[in-house]
Every structure is written in C-alpha cells, then in structure tokens.
C-alpha cells in the first residue's frame, strides 16, 4: 500500500468520532493491507513504531520538528514558529507549506518504506543525532504529498491522536474477518498474553483468529498484561463470591513483572533480565540489582509477578511508593540505588522453563513458585493464608495495617491468571492514606486539562485541573455514545485544592509537553462551565482521594467527588488503566451501605 492511500484513511479517521464507524473504517483498511505490511500500518495508526514494551521512541521535541519543517520547505524558522503560534498544529503547518511545492515534486512511497525511514530516525543516537534527525525528517517531509505530511509531522512528537487505542484495533480485526465483534473475546485473550497488536494483526491476517489465538503463548521477554484487583466492601462478601481464598499482604510499591532467562551455551541462548511496569514499559535500568537474580532462581527461564519496594536503610523499614519511584530519574540511578535499596516481593509465577502456567490455579502456581524462588536479599516470596472464614481476612487486615502495610489482597484459590479485572478473582482491601477520606479506596483519574491560576497560583501557571475516568464501552448504547460525542473518557471532577505548592509546580511541568489546542477525540462531552483553559492529551494518571462520591448532573460520567485531593502521580499506569465508571458505581454503592 502506498503511504498516500494510508493518509486518506488517516484523514477519514480524524474526521470520525463514532466508535463503531472508526472500527468499520479500520476493518476496511485492514482488508486492503497485506500480511507483510499490516503490522506497520497498525503501529503507525497508533502513532508509534512498535509496542510500548520495546521502548522505541523518536526523541524529537516540537522545536526540532519545527526546524525540520522549516528546512524541508526552505522557510525561516521564525516564520514557522509564528505559524505554529497561530495554527497550533505541526501537521497543519507542514501540510500548508507543502502545498506551495506543486504536484510534480511529490514522490510515492510504500507504507513499508516510510516506516523504515521513520525507524531509522528513531534509532539514530549519539553525538550529533539531533541534527541528523532534523535532516532526515526534513527529507521525508519534502518528498511526500501535503496530506501525508500532515500526519507524518505529528507522529514523532506524539500528537497523532486519532482517538482510539489497541482495543479498537482488536475490534477492527474481528470486523475484518467476521463483519462483527464476535471474535473479540478470542482476540483479547491473545492480546492479554502478547500485548503487541501489530504482531497479532499480522498473525490474524495470515491464519485467522482461531489459529492465531492458539499459537500465542507467554514469551520470556514480552510482558503479559497484569491481573488486577477489584473492590468488595466486606470479608463476608468476599467469601460469598469467591468461597475459598488466599489472603496476602498488600504492599505500597511498584508492580513489576520480571522476565529472566539464563544464558545457555549449548542452545546458544543469550541470557537477559527485563523488568516491566503494569503499563508495559520496560524499566530494567531502574533496577541494576536484578543482575544478581540468578542465585535466587532455580530455573533457566521464568516470568515472575512482583511488587518492588524501596527499603529505607536508616529506619530499616519499607519505603512508600513515591520514594520507590525516585528511581525513575534515569541519570541518577546509581546514586539513588545506593540510598534506596530495593526488594522484590514475589507473589506469582506465569511461566517456567517453557511451561505456560497462567491457566493453572492460584494454588498450583504458588506451589511451583515456592520451589523456584529462594528467599534472600533481593527476592522474597509473599506469604499467604488459605481460608473460607471472613474473620481470618479481618484479622490479617488488622495485622498488616499495624505493620505499616496498605492492607490485604484476597485471591480466589482456584483462579487461573486472567488479565485485567474480570470476575471475582482478586479483591483488594485497604485503608485510605488520609484519615479524613470516607471512600473505600482512592481513584486513578486521567488529567484532561487545566485552568489558569490567579493570585499566588498564577506563579504556578495553573490554578486547578479537570480529571476524567474511563467509560465501559461495552455497556454503552449507540445513542448514548453519540450523545456523549463518542469519547471514552468522561469528566469526573475538578480539583483546585488539596495540593501543595510543589505538587502544583510538578503537575504544570508534566502537563506542558502534553498540551494541545483542541479537545482530544478520546474525550466525551464536557459541559461549558467545565471547559479547561488548556487541553492536554490523555497520558497522565493521578491518584485521587476524596470524602465521598456524589451523583452529578454536570459531569458526563454522572458522578463527581466531594473534597477531592491529589495523592500521587501514577507513572506506572497508562491512561487506559484508569478507574472506570462501573468501578465508581460500585464504590458509590459501598459508601451508601
């Protein structure tokens, strides 16, 4: 397929807000694509070159793209910057300037060729790479037609944002093969084990959905989507729904999936250690200690589910989440590692020496885990207690809280490992950090935009911000989707109090690179009195505490928070892992009862 043809589909998708229509357009595009290019098309549709766990990034800032546009069309950089201030979109600027060339100077490239050119830009590193990236991008822009450059200019700076994510791609693959969503469950099961929609699309194109689903198994080095906990208010409800359960301590740490492969000279297997967060980012650099994992693992290859906890050496206590997260400062990691040692509390095993363990029960997996991992300085297997008695859950809850932990995780003893929050398999029970809060739990919300500050807050550059939550698309009717403008993120609450000065400054700093001129397509209806002064793309997740959830006729989610306040930034979560409306409904019922 020529990239110019793909650009026409991109334009159609950009103009479409209806989820079902987007799905149909994607299905049409996938039917036209051949199996050698569909993976590349999928990545480009998502504004990337590979799944997030591969860490392939462009490292191109907007100022660099402005220079590339100026160089491509031989314009003065100041004039291009002025255009950007007026138009606010790099793609529209590139398209407008490209039109002045005349049709005779455009070249036609296949999607594969453009993909490889962009990959070369992303992989260019080292001294002088910024200048080379600008040169390479200028060359690509100069040779393409105006419509194509509109989208090419947006991709490297993360501003393509067509309003859909991996899950919509899965729906479209079902439509491509069956003309409906009937294959969605099979595709989601496959995606949970191999969260690479490009690779999955290529496999589906070649062998169909059923065969593709059967072929996919856990691969050491490729993250598996994590299993997540739901909420239930009382231990008696937990026993009623799950019967026999395992009760584990709940840590306030960073969820880390460890992938370990021992080198083997006979099979020529090269050893490696990889660590993935719950949003599938590869963060091995944060944990140099993992290089010594071999002495505590009695296996050649394993995938372990763990909670990474910083240890306060002075107090000899476990550090909190925010302290642990200081390790994300990449260039200070050696110094930070000396100050904050790390321990991984292992609570599950998903793969061992070529065997897929996710379909085994919790108890069967724990028996294997106890044999594979040796407790030591770096790894420690989490204790658990099997029970059918609600009182045991209550007693363990009190015990863990008294020892400074968050509470307990209650897990169904016969449950296999299933990604996400499905069924009553895992349930968390914890005490809110703020004694003032009345909610059973905090909420993970998506920052949608912010409001200009007044008085003292004008110095921060913002005075408050708007957050939203995810809708459950399967529960929406088409009428409701159209009424709410087709987005999947609905407004939930405005937050202007409860932040410290340094939190305001940190938030403004984080949002600066996410600002856009117009409301992103992912957002549903926003009432006039809630419209932020500055929109941001859905990316930053924040943990919010509050006194209570209330019904709201103003917010499109139908709910709001009373006395909301920022707890922390959730850098370990992507926006599609935020709290959903159905979860809010459950919490609303909990507080009423």
For 22, phi then psi, to 5°, come to -60, -45
Q: What is the DSSP letter of 461?
A: T
The position carrying tokens 């070159």 is 49
CB 527 within 8 A of CB 441: no
19's CB contacts (< 8 A; 6+ apart) are: 164, 168, 473, 481, 486, 488
CA–CA dist 390, 157 (Å, integer)? 52
3-state secondary structure 311-376: EECCCCEECCHHHHHHHHCHHHHHHHHHHEEEEEEEEEEEEECCEECCCCCHHHHHHHHHHHECCC
Tokens coding 535: 């929109």
CA–CA dist 267, 233 (Å, integer)? 51
Helix (H, G, I), strand (E, B) or coil at 142: helix
> Of 330, 281, 13, whose CA–CA distance to 154 is shortest?
13
Sort strands 534-536 and 443-451 into parallel, antiparallel or unpaired: antiparallel
CA–CA dist 292, 276 (Å, integer)? 17
CB 179 within 8 A of CB 188: no
The position carrying tokens 């899950």 is 167
CA–CA dist 224, 576 (Å, integer)? 16
The position carrying tokens 């549903």 is 524
Helix (H, G, I), strand (E, B) or coil at 577: helix
Give the active site residue among 184, 205, 250, 521.
Answer: 250
Alpha carbon 430 to its chain's center: 24
CA–CA dist 555, 181 (Å, integer)? 30
Sort strands 443-451 and 464-470 into parallel, antiparallel or unpaired: antiparallel
Sort strands 426-430 and 464-470 into parallel, antiparallel or unpaired: unpaired
CA–CA dist 217, 212 (Å, integer)? 10
Q: How many residues does the chain have?
A: 593
Cα dist from 254 to 159, 170, 201, 328, whole Å: 28, 28, 31, 11
**250 is an active site residue:** yes
> Of 137, 143, 142, whose CA–CA distance to 157 is shortest?
137
Alpha carbon 253 to its chain's center: 17
CB 299 within 8 A of CB 372: yes
Residue 66, burial from CB neighbour count under 10 angstroms (0-12, 13-18, 19+): buried
* Residues taking part in catalysis: 250
């Amino acid at each position: 397929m020529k990239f110019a043809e793909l650009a026409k589909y991109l334009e159609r998708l950009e103009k479409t807000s209806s989820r079902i229509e987007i799905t149909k357009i994607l299905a049409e595009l996938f039917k036209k694509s051949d199996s050698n290019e569909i993976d590349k098309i999928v990545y480009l549709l998502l504004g990337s070159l590979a799944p997030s766990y591969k860490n392939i990034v462009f490292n191109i800032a907007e100022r660099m793209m402005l220079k590339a546009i100026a160089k491509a069309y031989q314009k003065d950089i100041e004039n291009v910057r002025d255009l950007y201030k007026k138009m606010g979109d790099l793609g529209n600027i590139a398209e407008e300037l490209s039109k002045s060339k005349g049709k005779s100077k455009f070249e036609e490239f296949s999607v594969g060729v453009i993909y490889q050119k962009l990959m070369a830009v992303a992989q260019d590193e080292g001294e002088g790479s910024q200048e080379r990236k600008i040169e390479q991008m200028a060359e690509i822009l100069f040779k393409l037609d105006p419509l194509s450059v509109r989208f090419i200019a947006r991709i490297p700076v993360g501003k393509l944002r067509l309003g859909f994510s991996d899950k919509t791609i899965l729906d479209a693959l079902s439509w491509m093969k069956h003309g409906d969503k009937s294959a969605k469950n099979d595709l989601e099961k496959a995606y949970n084990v191999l969260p690479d929609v490009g690779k999955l699309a290529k496999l589906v194109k070649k062998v169909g959905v059923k065969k593709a689903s059967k072929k996919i198994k856990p691969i050491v080095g490729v993250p598996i989507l994590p299993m997540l906990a739901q909420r239930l208010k009382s231990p008696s409800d937990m026993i009623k729904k799950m019967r026999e359960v395992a009760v584990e301590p709940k840590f306030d740490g960073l969820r880390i999936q460890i992938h370990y492969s021992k080198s083997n000279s006979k099979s020529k297997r090269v050893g490696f250690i990889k660590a993935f967060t719950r949003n599938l980012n590869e963060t091995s650099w944060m944990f140099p200690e993992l290089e010594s994992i071999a002495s505590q693992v009695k296996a050649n290859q394993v995938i372990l589910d763990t909670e990474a906890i910083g240890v306060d050496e002075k107090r000899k206590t476990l550090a909190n989440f925010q302290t642990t997260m200081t390790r994300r400062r990449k260039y200070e990691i050696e110094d930070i590692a000396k100050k904050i040692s790390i321990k991984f509390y292992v609570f599950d095993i998903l793969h061992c020496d070529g065997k897929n363990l996710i379909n085994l029960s919790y108890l069967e997996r724990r028996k294997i885990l106890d044999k594979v991992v040796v407790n030591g300085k770096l790894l420690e297997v989490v204790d658990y207690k099997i029970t059918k008695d609600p009182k045991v859950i209550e007693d363990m809850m009190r015990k863990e809280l008294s020892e400074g932990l968050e509470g307990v995780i209650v897990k169904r003893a016969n449950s296999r490992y299933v990604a996400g929050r499905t069924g009553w398999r895992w349930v968390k029970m914890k005490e809110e950090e703020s004694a003032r809060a009345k909610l059973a739990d905090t909420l993970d919300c998506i920052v949608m935009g912010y409001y200009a500050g007044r008085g003292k807050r004008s110095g921060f550059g913002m005075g408050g911000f708007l957050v939203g939550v995810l809708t459950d698309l399967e529960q929406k009717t088409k009428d409701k989707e159209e009424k709410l403008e087709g987005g999947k993120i609905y407004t939930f609450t405005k937050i202007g109090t409860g932040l410290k000065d340094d939190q305001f400054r940190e938030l403004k700093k984080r949002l600066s690179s996410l600002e856009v001129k117009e409301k992103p397509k992912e957002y549903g209806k926003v009432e006039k009195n809630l419209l932020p002064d500055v929109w941001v793309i859905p990316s930053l997740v924040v943990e919010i505490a509050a006194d209570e959830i209330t019904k709201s006729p103003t917010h499109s989610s139908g709910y709001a928070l009373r006395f909301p306040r920022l707890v922390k930034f959730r850098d370990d979560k992507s926006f599609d892992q935020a709290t959903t409306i159905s979860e809010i409904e459950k919490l609303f019922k909990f507080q009423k009862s």
